Structure formats: C-alpha cells, structure tokens
Amino acid sequence: MQIVLGLLSMISIALGATQAFAKNCTDRQQVCFRYCDKTYQMRGHEACRATCGDYMSTCRSTGCWESKVTAKECGFTKN
C-alpha cells in the first residue's frame, strides 16, 4: 500500500511539474495524453485519452483544467 501511495505521489509531482509548462488547453491535453500513455499502456488507454478530450472541452470553455490526478488549475488560454 505504501508503494502505491508513493507512486501516486510521484506521478502527481511529475504531472504538476509538467503542467507548469502547459500554458494553453492544447498543451495541457498533451500532458494528459502522455499520462495515459505511461500509466495505461495496455488496458484503459483509449478510455483515458477520451477522458482527456472531455477535460479539453471544459478547458476550452472555462480556461480551467481539473482531472482525477491534478487539482483544478485555471489561466490556460483556450486554444
């Protein structure tokens, strides 16, 4: 259990660091896709990427990105 929590913590930190470089919704979606590629290599990969698309729609309308693994962050340009 501690290993799982440690891994989730490391993923969150890595995504947070990567997200800091994403300035627009399209860049943030690419971060989400990379997360899917690394985390769901075999099962659930397409569902994860589809969820990134849902987050992208919200980002384009609000300028905010919020997902199950990242806290809500706003200020993204809506492209």
Quick one: pLDDT at residue 20?
55
From 27, 7, 14, 12, select the one nearest 71 (Cα to Cα). Answer: 12
Quick one: pLDDT at residue 11?
52
Integer Cα distance of 2 and 6 in angstroms? 6
Quick one: pLDDT at residue 56?
96
Integer Cα distance of 9 and 14 in angstroms? 9
Q: Please list the rounded mean pLDDT of every run of 10 residues in the chain (79 residues).
A: 46 50 91 94 89 96 91 90
From 15, 21, 17, 20, select the one nearest 52 (Cα to Cα). Answer: 15
Q: Tell me the whole-structure pTM to 2 decimals.
A: 0.69
Quick one: pLDDT at residue 8?
46
Quick one: pLDDT at residue 78?
81
